[in-house]
């Protein structure tokens, strides 16, 4: 680029996407397990600049890409990561960076009526093609690069185009953060199936001597196959009356250790779509039955007495498979089903507890609770890291005060007070209305569940491997309508909603930002997440060069021109972002 072109550079021209392509195109490919296999010799590579997209592609410039702990999981697992399906990264590398916002530089001929040069987009990474899960930043090489092309793998998948238009009112960092924020929002939208599956396989487990005259007003006509085990004559007649067309299979006297074989025989080990347990009393039985719930299946418990203990429940499946535990203490079996009975969001004016509150995602969950007008009135954060709690207090304390919310943070490692005593002192209740867990450790999840009130909701945001078991008080599901929920990823609609909230000013995604860096800081950013150096999100700006990974709280000292434009409490601003571009954007 000529000297005149450099002098003609401006932030406005950059944001419009009209600045020329660079001579080099730096990117961080991933070649295997370990941080050392991100990039080459600790640096980004110079990759070919894709000058011309084909007819069904877009040439895009990556403006900002957030780093996520999910990136760390991929770095640790390499080709063994579930979303890579055993891929040999030495032969077919991928690229991290699924939290990306981009600018369209050139449009393929077949896409000219849908996109235009200079258009800003956010990428929704959870992509499905022919029903199979893929992902930008995993299966599809992601945004930790300056320029690349995207085609039908992103723009013409099962739900159409997995990109969302971004208005010019939103900065690059805020737009990139719409993806993790969409995952937060998704945690509070109903992902569980809450009605019997049409044409599915239902298993009703009862006791032959149960004299209760149950009713099943709606939903019993949905299954195509109904398996009954040890049910009364009354229940058998209900099945015959409500679903005369169903295939009915009777299997009585199956011992608990024979349940898995029953499922294998009748469902091919896929599991039962819907399970109804009448008069449950045995924790061991519930534990084994729960293992046989199909993906997005339900287990409906109908009873009046607590179990004889806490069954071990697969918390990984709660998060990834959306297994639904529902129930009622009445005799109407269908009363357990439906969204009206099973909530997914906070109790208005209630008490919400956040475990792992000091981490990036814990802070985001607390911010959502604070900014939700009809959300909890008391927000209690629990973490074992004082430094992270101090950051959370700095970022969210004033916001909570402004919104009229009580906001208290607690480190149980520094106190003689237990978590339960802390919650009782600030709520006057025996347990919280809502407990949100952002720590991917099974025992922590189980412990967090004990912080719930009898009719509370547990949100398992952190993902642990399927098969991770934790003791849960499942009795409260049918006795008091407790909820156990979990979500993985987000949808296009979730991310669009976040961008809409950011545009209207009801959500500030950039409040989560803790550190920034240019393209050379990609590997350092991954290592920093592993080391837990920052309590908030790390943002890489691929179009910047010469900017090492820098904490927002360090900008006043290291880049004072940018630090001077931060908001109160070192909050990221659009003005600070513009100055960063002006100082560090590649201009030749």
Q: What is the pLDDT of residues 60-115, one digit of tens each?
A: 999 999 999 889 989 999 999 888 889 999 999 999 999 999 999 999 999 999 99
Residue 5 has pLDDT above 70, yes or no: no
Q: Please state the domain extents for the chain.
A: 3-187+493-584, 201-336, 351-465
Task: Report pLDDT for 1.
Answer: 42
Q: Please tell me the distance from the alpha carbon of residue 309 to that of residue 333, in angstroms, as a whole number.
A: 23
**Count of beta carbons in the 10 Å neighbourhood of residue 3:** 8
**Count of beta carbons in the 10 Å neighbourhood of residue 503:** 14
Q: Express the helix, strand and coil content of the chain in percent, nearest 5 each.
A: 35, 25, 40
Contacts of 542 (CB under 8 A, 6+ apart): 26, 27, 62, 63, 64, 65, 143, 144, 145, 146, 518, 519
Q: Is 48 exposed, middle or buried (CB count within 10 Å of its CB: 0-12, 13-18, 19+)?
A: exposed
Q: Please tell me the distance from the alpha carbon of residue 51 to that of residue 511, in angstroms, as a whole number.
A: 36
Task: Report pLDDT for 7.
Answer: 66
Q: Please tell me the distance from the alpha carbon of residue 514 to that of residue 394, in angstroms, as a whole number.
A: 12
The domain made up of 351-465 is a member of CATH 3.40.50.720 = yes
Kindly report whether the global pTM for this prediction surpasses the value 0.85.
yes
Q: Which tens digit of pLDDT belongs to each residue from 334-354?
A: 999 999 999 999 999 999 999
Task: Report pLDDT for 2.
Answer: 47
Residue 6 has pLDDT above 80, yes or no: no
Residue 430 has pLDDT above 50, yes or no: yes
Question: What CATH homologous superfamily does 3-187+493-584 map to?
Answer: Medium-chain alcohol dehydrogenases, catalytic domain (3.90.180.10)
Q: Which tens digit of pLDDT belongs to each residue from 508-548?
A: 999 999 999 999 999 999 999 999 999 899 999 999 999 99
Q: Which tens digit of pLDDT belongs to each residue from 208-261?
A: 999 999 999 999 999 999 999 999 999 999 999 999 999 999 999 999 999 999
Q: What is the DSSP letter of 53?
A: -
Q: Is 349 exposed, middle or buried (CB count within 10 Å of its CB: 0-12, 13-18, 19+)?
A: exposed
According to DSSP, the β-strands at 293-302 and 324-328 are parallel
Q: Which CATH code, of 3.40.50.720, 3.60.10.10, 3.30.450.20, 3.90.79.10, is assigned to 201-336?
A: 3.40.50.720
Of the chain, the percentage scoring pLDDT greater than 90 comes to 88
Residue 588 has pLDDT above 80, yes or no: no
Task: Report pLDDT for 587.
Answer: 82
Arithmetic mean of pLDDT over the chain: 94
Kindly compute the dihedral angle of the four CA atoms of residues 55, 60, 66, 70, in this order, to the nearest 10 degrees.
20
Task: Report pLDDT for 132.
Answer: 84
Task: Report pLDDT for 394.
Answer: 92
Q: Which tens digit of pLDDT belongs to each residue from 108-156?
A: 999 999 999 999 999 999 998 888 889 999 999 999 999 999 999 999 9
- Three-state secondary structure call for residue 254: coil
* 351-465 shares the fold of 201-336: yes
Task: Report pLDDT for 3.
Answer: 54
């Amino acid at each position: 680029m000529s000297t005149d072109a450099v002098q003609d550079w401006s932030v406005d021209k950059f944001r419009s996407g009209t600045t020329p392509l660079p001579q080099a195109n730096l990117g961080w490919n991933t070649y295997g397990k370990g941080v050392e296999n991100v990039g080459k010799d600790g640096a980004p590579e110079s990759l070919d600049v894709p000058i011309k997209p084909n007819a069904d592609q877009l040439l895009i410039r990556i403006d900002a890409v957030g780093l996520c702990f999910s990136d760390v999981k991929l770095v640790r697992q390499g080709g063994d990561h579930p979303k890579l399906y055993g891929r040999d990264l030495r032969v077919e590398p991928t690229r991290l960076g699924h939290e990306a916002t981009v600018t369209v530089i050139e449009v393929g001929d077949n896409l000219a009526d849908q996109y235009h040069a200079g258009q800003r987009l956010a990428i929704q990474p959870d992509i499905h093609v022919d029903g199979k899960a893929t992902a930008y930043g995993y299966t599809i090489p992601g945004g930790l690069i300056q320029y690349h092309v995207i085609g039908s793998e992103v723009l013409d998948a099962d739900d159409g185009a997995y990109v969302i238009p971004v208005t010019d009112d939103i900065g690059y960092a805020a737009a990139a953060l719409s993806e993790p924020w969409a995952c937060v929002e998704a945690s509070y939208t109903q992902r569980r199936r809450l009605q019997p599956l049409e044409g599915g396989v239902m298993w009703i487990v009862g006791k032959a001597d149960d004299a209760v005259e149950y009713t099943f007003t709606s939903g019993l006509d949905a299954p195509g196959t109904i398996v009954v085990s040890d049910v009364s004559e009354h229940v058998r007649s209900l099945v015959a009356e409500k679903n005369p067309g169903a295939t009915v299979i009777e299997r009585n006297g199956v011992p608990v250790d024979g349940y898995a074989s029953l499922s294998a025989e009748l469902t091919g080990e896929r599991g039962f779509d819907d399970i109804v347990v009448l008069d449950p009393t045995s924790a061991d039985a519930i534990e084994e039955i729960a293992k046989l719930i199909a993906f997005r299946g339900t287990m409906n418990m109908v009873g009046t007495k607590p179990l004889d203990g806490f069954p071990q429940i697969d918390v990984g499946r709660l998060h990834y498979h959306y297994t639904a535990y529902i129930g009622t203490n009445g005799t109407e079996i269908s009363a357990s089903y439906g969204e009206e009975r099973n909530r997914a969001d906070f109790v208005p004016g209630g008490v919400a507890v956040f475990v792992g509150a000091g981490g990036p995602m814990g802070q985001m969950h607390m911010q959502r609770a604070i900014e939700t007008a009809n959300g909890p009135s008391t927000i209690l954060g629990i973490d074992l890291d004082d430094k992270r709690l101090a950051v959370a207090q700095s970022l969210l304390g004033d916001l909570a005060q402004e919104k009229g919310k009580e906001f208290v943070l607690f480190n149980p490692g520094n106190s003689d007070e237990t978590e339960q005593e802390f919650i009782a002192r600030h709520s006057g209740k025996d347990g919280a209305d809502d407990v949100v867990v952002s720590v991917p450790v099974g025992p922590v999840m189980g412990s967090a569940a004990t912080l719930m009130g009898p009719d509370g909701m547990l949100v398992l945001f952190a993902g642990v491997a399927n098969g991770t078991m934790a003791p849960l008080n499942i009795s409260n599901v049918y006795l008091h309508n407790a909820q156990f929920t979990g979500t993985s990823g987000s949808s296009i609609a979730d991310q669009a909603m976040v961008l809409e909230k950011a545009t209207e000013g009801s959500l500030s995604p950039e409040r989560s930002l803790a550190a920034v860096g240019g393209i050379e800081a990609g590997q350092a950013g991954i290592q920093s997440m592993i080391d837990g150096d920052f309590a908030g999100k790390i943002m890489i700006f691929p179009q910047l060069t010469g900017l090492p990974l820098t904490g927002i709280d360090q900008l006043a000292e290291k880049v004072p021109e940018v630090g001077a434009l931060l908001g109160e409490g070192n909050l990221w601003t659009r003005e600070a972002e513009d100055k960063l571009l002006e100082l560090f954007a590649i201009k030749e």
